[in-house]
Amino acid sequence: MDPLASLLDLADVTEALESARAAADAVFRRRPLRPGTERARRIAAEVTLRDAVASASLEGVPHDLALVRAGAVTDPVLQGALRVGAELEGLAPRWLQTPPQVLTRLHILAARGVAADLGRPSPNGGTARLLALRSVLDSTAPALLRAAVVHGELLALRAFEGPNGVVARGAARLTLIASGFDERGLLPVDVGHLGRGPEYTGAAGAFATGTRDGLRAWIKHCCAAVSSAASSLAEICDEVL
């Protein structure tokens, strides 16, 4: 039985997933995002930068975007988020086949200079539940639902020492990329989460309770973050133009 099937029966979840998908598909049709163009490359680089700054901020380490763009910020959490963003496309082909190995790599990238035992789950990291993520990735449920569950589980488990949230958000974005939802990794989803920061924190805590209401709140938040990310991507396109 598909482990995520029952989540589609939660109130408003299917509608939220469909709305987020429609928002993403609409922005992907914009002309500046045509593959292989210089504009598309500039947009992709800007998305990676902004998403890394957002992820670090969600980890409690905010930085000014202009200073980061100028290369003036050496904070290790931010640098880890930048490294994660830069490797997502390369890691995506392996993510659905060997998630434990990719999680190890994400932690090495994110936690260098911040945590010891790079690549190893924390002692209270719930190894069995980490291994169970494979069944989530193998689910036939919509990609955004799978990404939301992966993200929520890694946050709830506090699976890795140091910037665990950077790892969790990287894994969620990998799920969207590897599944084809956001094949080129153009959605600044972490910018979407940051724009709804208090909700992000509250909904993640609700997910950790494991209740139906908690799961519903988190999934709907993740859908709203993707819709917001689509709007942010449209704004980046306009800036580049």
pLDDT digits (tens, 9 = 90+) for 153-202: 999 999 899 999 999 999 999 999 999 999 999 999 999 999 999 999 99
- Which pLDDT does position 120 carry in this prediction? 87
Measured CA distances, 134 to 59, 139, 148, 182, 193 (Å): 25, 9, 14, 20, 24
Q: Can you spell out the DSSP letters for 197-235?
A: HHHHHHHHHHHHHT-HHHHHHHHHHHHHHHHHHHHHHHH
**Opening angle at CA 198, ends 196 and 187, nearest 5:** 25
Q: For residue range 222-237, what is the model confidence (pLDDT) as tens digits?
A: 999 999 999 999 999 9
152 pLDDT more than 90: yes
The CB-side HSE value for 239 (13 A sphere, CA atoms) comes to 11
Among residues 187, 222, 191, the alpha carbon closest in space to that of 206 is found at 222
Residues 13 and 148 sit within 8 Å (Cβ to Cβ): no
User: Over the chain, what is the mean pLDDT?
Assistant: 95
- Which pLDDT does position 35 carry in this prediction? 86
Residues 141 and 175 sit within 8 Å (Cβ to Cβ): no
Among residues 69, 240, 215, the alpha carbon closest in space to that of 152 is found at 215
Q: For residue range 108-132, what is the model confidence (pLDDT) as tens digits?
A: 999 999 988 898 888 776 677 788 8
- Which pLDDT does position 188 carry in this prediction? 98
- Which pLDDT does position 126 carry in this prediction? 65
41 pLDDT more than 90: yes
- Stretch 10-26: mean pLDDT, rounded? 98
- Which pLDDT does position 125 carry in this prediction? 63
Check residue 18 and report its DSSP letter: H
107 pLDDT more than 80: yes
- Which pLDDT does position 123 carry in this prediction? 76
- Which pLDDT does position 202 carry in this prediction? 98
Q: What is the CATH number of domain 5-240?
A: 1.10.3290.10
Phi-psi region of 41 (alpha: psi -120 to 50; beta: other; left: phi over 0): alpha
